[in-house]
Amino acid sequence: MATLKQVAAHADVSVQTVSNALNAPHRLKPDTLRRVTRSIELLNYKPNRNARSLRTSAVELIGYCVPSWPHGQTHLVMDQFLHALCTAAERTGRHILLFTAPTGIDGMPVYDDLHARRLVDGFVLSQTETHDPRHGWLKEQRIPFVSFGRVWKETTQPGPYVDVDGAAGCATAVRHLYETGRRRIAFLSWPRTSGLAEDRLAGWRTTCKELELPTKDLAIRCPEDMIDEGARATAKLLDAGLEAGTPVDGIVAISDILALGALRELTARGLTAGVEVGVTGFDDSPLASVVSPALTSVRQPIDRIATELIALLTDSPAPADPATGGTERLLQPELVIRGSSAPG
């Protein structure tokens, strides 16, 4: 494996000149640059990143803690997210280093260790919890990080974040169902403990109010994100609607999994999603396009999220430029319309 020294000898210049050819080519006389470049190519020289990092104390690696999920639950778009994050990191010459850690504050020693040993420059957090302690901790330790997801119910965010406007996403879903003629639109949610859930729920409620649609008894909290729970909640909604003579004709689900449950319950009752009842999901997971009728779903702009995460983490500290907007980015999701809400 060629080293700077060997390239220098080959090109008959000093070691530093070769280094400059790579890191500050404008400093070299065009002629020298050409000669050095040729030697680099000839010897197939690749700079040793460890030596570089030792000198500059920057490793160009970003830590990401691979979430471990409660049994039966999976992040259906995690592979998309990781791919996007990698790609975004690579665009800046960086890479993603995976690690595992206990959840919550118990995991912080691991983060600290990775940073102290100089395995990573900083972290991308995801799976932000309502009172996530990690952000404050990292900030206190002055360890660089950026979060995918806001820290809910805190007055101030303890660091830079990128998030998706879940309220807006659900609002769009409600409006879409309204435009396709639905007038009694229910919401399948998660337990109250999740800030994420409250955000999306609020989007549904506000928009229904705006459109003068009913909301009473139309929001159901499923204890877990499972198909069965979605089906059960849907059954409850349909039954109550029939009894009262005001049938539900739209269902906005907080996740694709719950929406799938709704689809299943509809099918079981001989109803067709997209005809009698419009259904939307959230995340546009791979499942959405694979079921039938295919599921209308709110898609998070994953590539954009990844790009912004990397930018916030690696760009020079907080350009107070109001145009790019400091260190907080709220991105708008997009509704992908398929058969479950509008047949044909």
Which residues in this chain contact its own copies in the complex, by CB under 8 A?
1, 44, 46-51, 53-54, 57, 59, 61, 66-69, 71-76, 78-80, 82-83, 86-87, 90, 95-100, 113, 116-119, 226-228, 231, 257, 264, 267-268, 285-287, 289-292
Please, what is the minimum distance in Å from the beta carbon of residue 106 to DNA?
26
Q: Are 296 and 340 within 8 A, CB to CB?
A: yes
Q: Which CB sits closer to DNA, 155 or 316?
A: 316
Please, what is the minimum distance in Å from the beta carbon of residue 65 to DNA?
24
- Residues lying near DNA in the complex (CB under 7 A): 1, 3-5, 13-17, 19-20, 22-23, 26-29, 31-32, 45, 47-48, 51-52, 54-57
Please, what is the minimum distance in Å from the beta carbon of residue 166 to its own copies?
22
Chosen from its own copies, DNA, none, partner binding at 79 (C-beta under 5 to 8 Å by type): its own copies
Q: Which CB sits closer to its own copies, 1 or 24?
A: 1
Please, what is the minimum distance in Å from the beta carbon of residue 163 to its own copies?
21
Q: Which CB sits closer to its own copies, 131 or 232?
A: 232
Q: Which CB sits closer to DNA, 29 or 216?
A: 29
Q: Which CB sits closer to DNA, 22 or 271?
A: 22
Please, what is the minimum distance in Å from the beta carbon of residue 300 to its own copies?
15
Q: Which CB sits closer to DNA, 35 or 184?
A: 35
